[in-house]
């Protein structure tokens, strides 16, 4: 298969442009688009034509929709964006099984998506899973995550979230394939952009739009308790994943700064209630960092924290990140950790990393495009991480403030 690769501008040469104010078509409710046509004395069924072009065709622009008259195409283009992604760079890895896409938006902001292919095996069907971003950058500041190095730029619009999905769907359609799963585990904290994320999930699940069942969607959070509680009240059927990473507050303060606002017990309590109300099993993600959170004591603390819960744990070896001194836990250590959890009755999977040579982990490619930080900056970050993690391992709670606007 030959994929179109549209290279982005070199690092530091992002276009200096303002944000395009036209709404993205993918983010519109069908009723709102119909109202736009009716207000212009045009037949409402034209809206269905446009939505079919957005969701059911391989069209990349409104000019690729010949069923619409030329004058109407021009009017639509003046009012809306058919695609909110300006250009994209694609990198392939794992023999083509992993595709990392770096998308540039109208204002030059960079976001990432990763398409992972899983061939049929035994009784398991072929799967195509897309990991998407909900924000440009991230304010959560987890020190093992490359996105945290970038800082926060802005929330993504609903259409900007969905157009990552449409982009991957068009690439798959070349070979007659279709997305089977979408996970909100890319750049950003989804529950800090919850309205737009929920609107995007609704469009993904809507049979008249993308038509992916809600149970094939996973939304991840670092532990925004009010967001989890809001989801519980709504009772969605997508899977909730919690980036836990540590079961003890001092260590989680250092690994997940949001823990300073919502401690781990409160996060798990909210997730437990979500599982009770929705009947959906919670997935907990733990990035395994050598000598930091992979000890027998960490496994015992996690087993105690999740005892009796309707939960599953994914253990993920850490991807190398330039500004941290840490490395992934050795696989025998991860396997020992998993065995202790399973012995406590907790369903556990070890996830193998993919696409390391193309920077497939969250934020790595965008961070590279933003330019390498200076050596003194990296040294200061490493010193701070070493200092904070050493204090955490001594059982000391962090006194560092959260980033502005996070956890308010």
Closest CA to 258 of 278, 236, 228: 228
Structure-token pair, residue 208: 């008249």
Contact at 8 Å (CB) between 129 and 180? Answer: yes
Contact at 8 Å (CB) between 369 and 15? Answer: no
Axis-axis angle for helices 296-305, 264-278 (nearest 10)? 40
- Alpha-carbon dihedral sign for residues 184, 189, 194, 196: negative
Q: Which of 149, 189, 362, 388 is catalytic?
A: 362
The residues, any chain, with a CB within 8 Å of residue 114's CB and separated by 6 or more, are: 98, 99, 100, 101, 130, 131, 186, 355, 360
3-class SS of residue 104: strand
Region label for 279, one of left (φ > 0), alpha (ψ between -120 and 50) or beta (otherwise):
left
CA–CA distance, 257 with 261 (Å, rounded to integer): 8
Return the biggest CA–CA distance within the chain: 70
- Our answer to whether residue 131 is catalytic in this structure is no
Contact at 8 Å (CB) between 84 and 90? Answer: no
Structure-token pair, residue 205: 């699940």
3-class SS of residue 22: coil
Residue with tokens 């603390």: 301
Structure-token pair, residue 54: 């957005």
- Our answer to whether residue 362 is catalytic in this structure is yes
3-class SS of residue 86: strand
Q: Which of 99, 112, 160, 189 is catalytic?
A: 112
CA–CA distance, 280 with 135 (Å, rounded to integer): 25
Contact at 8 Å (CB) between 93 and 361? Answer: no
Q: Where are the alpha helices (DSSP H) in 137-224?
A: 146-150, 158-173, 194-205
Q: Within 13 Å and on the Cβ side, how many CA atoms surround 264?
A: 22
Which residues does the annotation mark as catalytic?
A: 112, 362
């Amino acid at each position: 298969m030959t994929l179109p690769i549209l290279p982005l501008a070199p690092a530091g040469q992002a276009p200096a442009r303002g944000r395009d104010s036209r709404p993205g078509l993918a983010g519109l409710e069908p009723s709102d688009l119909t109202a736009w046509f009716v207000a212009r004395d045009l037949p409402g069924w034209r809206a269905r034509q446009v939505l079919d072009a957005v969701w059911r065709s391989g069209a990349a622009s409104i000019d690729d929709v010949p069923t619409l008259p030329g004058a109407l195409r021009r009017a639509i283009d003046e009012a809306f964006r058919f695609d909110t992604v300006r250009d994209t760079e694609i990198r392939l890895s794992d023999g083509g099984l992993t595709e990392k896409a770096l998308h540039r938006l109208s204002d030059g902001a960079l976001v990432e998506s990763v398409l992972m292919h899983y061939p049929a095996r035994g009784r398991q069907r072929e799967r195509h899973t897309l990991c998407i971003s909900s924000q440009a950058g991230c304010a959560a500041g987890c020190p093992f995550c490359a996105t945290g190095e970038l800082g926060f730029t802005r929330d993504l619009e609903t259409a900007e979230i969905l157009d990552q999905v449409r982009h991957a769907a068009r690439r798959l359609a070349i070979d007659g394939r279709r997305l089977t799963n979408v996970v909100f585990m890319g750049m950003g904290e989804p529950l800090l952009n919850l309205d737009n994320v929920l609107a995007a999930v609704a469009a993904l699940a809507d049979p008249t739009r993308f038509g992916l069942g809600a149970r094939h969607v996973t939304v991840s959070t670092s532990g925004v308790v009010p967001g989890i509680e809001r989801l519980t009240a709504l009772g969605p059927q997508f899977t909730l994943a919690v980036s836990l990473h540590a079961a003890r507050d001092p260590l989680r303060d250092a690994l997940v700064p949001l823990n300073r606002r919502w401690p781990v017990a409160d996060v798990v309590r909210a997730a437990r209630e979500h599982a009770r109300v929705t009947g959906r099993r919670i997935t907990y993600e733990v990035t395994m960092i050598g000598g930091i959170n992979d000890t027998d004591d960490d496994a015992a603390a996690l087993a105690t924290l999740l005892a009796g819960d309707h939960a599953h744990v994914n253990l993920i070896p850490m991807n190398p990140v330039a500004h941290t001194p840490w490395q992934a836990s050795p696989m025998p250590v991860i396997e020992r950790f998993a065995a202790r959890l399973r012995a406590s009755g907790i369903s556990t999977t070890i996830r193998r990393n993919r696409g390391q040579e193309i920077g497939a982990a969250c934020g790595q490619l965008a961070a590279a495009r933003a330019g390498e930080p200076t050596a003194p900056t990296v040294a200061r970050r490493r010193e701070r991480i070493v200092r904070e993690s050493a204090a955490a391992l001594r059982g000391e709670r962090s006194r560092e403030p959260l980033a502005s606007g996070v956890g308010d």
